[in-house]
Each structure stands twice: as C-alpha cells, then as structure tokens.
A and B are shown apart, each in its own frame.
Chain A
Amino acid sequence: MATILPLDEAVRRLVHDGDTVALEGFTHLIPMAAGHELIRQRLRGLTLVRMTPDLVYDQMIGAGLADRLVFSWGGNPGVGSLHRFRDAVQNGWPGPLAIEEHSHAGMANRYVAGASGVPFAVLRGYRGTDLVGQTATIKPITCPFTGEELTAVPALNPDVAIVHAQRADRAGNVQLWGILGVQKEAVLAARRSLATVEEIVDELAPVPGAVLLPARVVTAVAEVPGGASPSYAQGYYDRDNDAYQAWDAIGRDRAAFTDWLRREVHGRAGVSGGAA
C-alpha cells in the first residue's frame, strides 16, 4: 500500500545509486520536481529510462546523475535540441553517457511487456532502419504461426518508476487524466514507484477518461503542487512554453547551466513545487 511521504524522504527511500529509474509523462505531467530532488540528493550511476528525455533528463544528465540513457526521442519539443544530452553524447560532459536508443513504438511496447510480466514484446517496427545495427535490444523474430519476420524488444522493468499525477486520496490511490502517456505501464512494470501529485484529497471524484493507479501498485505518494512545471497538469496549470524556449539558451552553455543548477535546484532545497 502506498505511503504518503514528503518528496525528499520518498526519493531517499526509493532511489539508490546505480538504479534503473524511469520518469515518465509524455509532454504532460512530467515529474520535474522529483527530477530536481534526485539531483539535490546527488544520486550517481543511474540508468535513466524515458521515451522523451525532455528538459528533466537534460538537467539530470547535465548534473551527472546518469551513466546510461534508454530513450526514443531526445529533443526539446517544438524548440530544438537538448544541449546537455548532446554535450554528453558528443563530448562526454560531465561524464560519458552510454545510450540505448529505440523508437517510440519500441519503448511503449517494452513497458507493456514489463507491465504484463512477459520477457519481450513483438511489433512491426525498426525493419530496414539502422537502429537494428546499433541497439542490442532490437532483434528479429519469426512468428511461430505465420512465419512472418517481426521485431522483438525486451521488457523494461525499472527499479523505480516516477510519475506525476493530478491527485491522490489519503490511501494513496492515484488519479491522472488528459494525455495519458505511458505512466500506467511504467508504474506496473517497475519494482517500486513514486507518484508526485498536485494535491491529496479526501475522495477521488471520477473524471472521464482518467487512469487510476490503485494504491497497492504505488509505493509512495508525495504532494508536490506545481511538480510538473514547466510541463503541465491538465485542469491545474498550462504548459509554460516560454520556459521551454528559454531552456534552449541555458542548456546550450555549460556555465549558464551550472549556474542555473546551483540557483534553481540546489538553492531550492526543501522548496516543493517545480523550479524553472
């Protein structure tokens, strides 16, 4: 059953050096504040898993938390590149970053396999692309029924999944709606999970199209209002597109980034809510 904890305590209990950690949220509900807490706790040697690294992984990679990145699209949506990610891959700054690169369809299916308790997933994908030759976790497979050649990708079962949601009740049931991404699959695939939420309420009123993560599959819940900013939480606040555009200049420059990190992350210990 989920335990309700302050964010820093939840991260201390759930995330350890060397873990494989997935922060999910597809443009919407990105757990930015939790990412910043991982940076403040100076975790090291992580394998970071995420379909769209976005600003949160750009920041975590730049802060030196990751040895390895498993991903499918590493850009700043609608703006351009992620320069900390690029600097790590091209120049090994602040340290070397190994990458394991997939397509969205492949990553989504890897989470589905992980959530489903099977070792791999099958899809029509990757055939003819150079990803096949670069990524060891993409293999051809023959359908035992039709003989057709398809593609297999292994299950993803992170040590920890971290998601952000609109709200939870006091028992730790978590409710999220709007663009759903792959959060349900990530939580069900992971060994431990943390949900940060905009608010904890007495009762979860039904919302059309919402996903409920039952408390029994959530390890910890932390109330972090604004915890997805500058991404957004449908029904609470909008995406801060200006912040995404402003990130380009910060992320491009090591000194500007280091200064940002000191000011907006390390300088905000104990401040809940999204920095940046």
Chain B
Amino acid sequence: MNAPAGADWTADEMMTVAAARALRPGAACFVGIGLPSTAANLARRTHAPDLWLIYESGALGAKPDRLPLSIGDGILADTADTVVSVPEIFNYWLQPGRIDVGFLGAAQIDRYANINTTVIGPYGEPEVRLPGAGGAPEIAASCREVIVIVRQNRRTFTESVDFVTSVGFGRGPGDRERLGLRGGGPVRVITDLGVLEPDPDTRELTLTSVHPGVDPEQARERTGWELKLAPDLARTQAPTPAELAALRALLQTQR
C-alpha cells in the first residue's frame, strides 16, 4: 500500500481513478479486461457517460451495468449498440484508426513503453509462459493513443523486455514512423505510484506525476532503469469522495 497514512483509499484505487480520469468524454475506447475495464466503466459512471466502449469480442458501444469478468460476457453483447464479428472488429474498426484510446496491461515494460505479455525468459525455454498477444500488438499499433495501466515494480519496469509483444516507441524517436505504425503510441503509463509519460524529444518514459503520499524516490527505486523526473513533477489529485463511491459501487457489481 502506498496510500498516505490516514487516507481512506488504496494505491490500487488511486491507480484506477487516475486511469478513468485520463479518458475524455465521447472517446472511442478499446477496453481489455481487468483494470482497463474497471477504469473505463468508472469513467462512464463519472465524468464520461458517453464514452464508447469497444471490447475485442465485437461489442461496440457496450454499456454494462456490472463489471464483466471476461471480454465476452453476455452483458456486453446485451447492452451494445451492435455486435460485430472478430475479423470486423480488427479489420474495420481497429486497423483503420477509428479507435481513440487503447488500454493495455503489461507483464514487462521498458523505458520506451515496449510491452511484453508473451514470455519471461527465452522464448524457446520460458521461465514463465504468459498468455501472449491477443489484441495487444494491433491495439498498440493503431489506436490514436495508448494508455498502459500496471503496478510499478522492478520485475515489471525492466531495462529491456524479454519479448516485444506490443511496440511502444521501439528504440526511440522515429521508430514508430519507420515501422509504419499509424497510431500515436503510448501517451501515459498509470501505476500505483504515479504517472509516467514519454518525453516529447527522447520518447523515454519520465515520471510526470506522483500520487499523494508517494515519494518520487520510491518510483525510482521500483524502476529497472534510471527513471527521470519531469522538471514540473505534479502531484496527482487524490480520489474524490464521488470517485471513490462510484468505484466501490462498480466493484460491488462483479459478484
């Protein structure tokens, strides 16, 4: 727990609230399960009721009144504007750049926001075999912007990733353009400690905001590279009572 002493919220709640705030009203948002789905549905219940949620199972404009466990729960199809096939969601919606925001998680992430969800250790002799790519590589490539939500520690924030499942900024400036990736790439990595954003010139993830009660040194200690701090390092606004109430009510719906 990194919440300040006496706070009535946890670091995970802060992370989810910060992620929800990052979503603009009306945006088309490609949602993965877990924290991204929680954050997106929180945004829909707070400042962005018209957020257009897209799940890779083909539900466009889903408006679930409870949190789904999987990306294909029946509640998503029941409440969607329309349901399309899997080839259609990827070919007609994601690939041409119709999605504003893609949300991704990570097992490993490096300073250029390249993400590994495939394997820890060598591919041929894995220490830990992870689920793999799913929709992530093309979400990372084609959404106008990408937001990553992940808890911050040295196991996850690594100097280099064991496998590039989804490209952030490759090896630095110009790589996305060279690869022909048409989306803008990661704009924000939201963790339980703060927010990291790519430096506009070097594209390196830089700490731009710390959550209340977090010392920037903690974030540096829990990062596997020499984490730079933005000169105008901000302090994240603590969750408001309204945000916390909405989040807790949302989580109550999962069971």
Interface residues of A (CB under 8 A from B): 26-28, 51-52, 71-75, 77-79, 81-82, 85-86, 89-90, 101-105, 108-109, 111-112, 123-131, 134, 148-150, 178-182, 184-185, 209, 211, 232, 234, 238-239, 241, 244
- Chain B 118-136 residues near chain A, CB threshold 8 A: 118, 123, 126-136
User: Whose C-beta in chain A lies nearest to the C-beta of B114?
Assistant: A128
Least Cβ–Cβ distance between A119 and chain B, in angstroms? 17
Number of A-B contacts (CB under 8 A): 181
What is the distance, in angstroms, from B55's C-beta to the closest C-beta of chain A? 9
The CB with the most chain A CB atoms within 10 A, among B57, B127, B167, is that of B57
Q: B130 and A81: CB pair below 8 A? A: yes
Contacts A109-B87, A234-B78 known; list 4 others, CB within 8 Å: A28-B72, A108-B86, A239-B70, A241-B70
Known: A28-B77, A105-B135. A128 touches B181 (CB 8 A): yes
Are B134 and A123 interface neighbours, CB within 8 A? no
Which among A77, A90, A241 has the greatest number of chain B C-beta atoms within 10 A?
A77
Q: Are A105 and B94 in contact (CB under 8 A)?
A: yes
- Is B182 an interface residue, CB under 8 A from the partner? yes
Of the candidates B59, B74, B141, B176, the one whose C-beta lies within 8 Å of that of A125 is B141
Tally chain B residues at the interface, Cβ within 8 Å.
Answer: 55
CB-defined contacts of B176 to chain A, threshold 8 Å? 128
Contacts of A104 on B, CB cut-off 8 Å? Answer: 56, 86, 90, 133-135, 138
With A77-B69, A181-B85 given, is the CB distance from A103 to B135 under 8 Å?
yes
Option from A73, A102, A109, A129 in Cβ contact (under 8 Å) with B91: A109
How distant is the Cα of A75 from the Cα of B84 in the complex, in angstroms?
A: 23
The closest CB in chain B to the CB of A51 belongs to B86
Query: Could you write out 23 A-B pairs with CB less than 8 Å apart?
Result: A73-B133, A74-B131, A77-B69, A78-B69, A79-B69, A86-B129, A89-B129, A103-B134, A104-B135, A105-B91, A105-B94, A105-B135, A108-B91, A109-B87, A112-B87, A123-B90, A124-B142, A127-B141, A131-B137, A180-B86, A181-B86, A185-B87, A241-B73
Report B-chain residues with C-beta under 8 Å of the C-beta of A182.
85-87
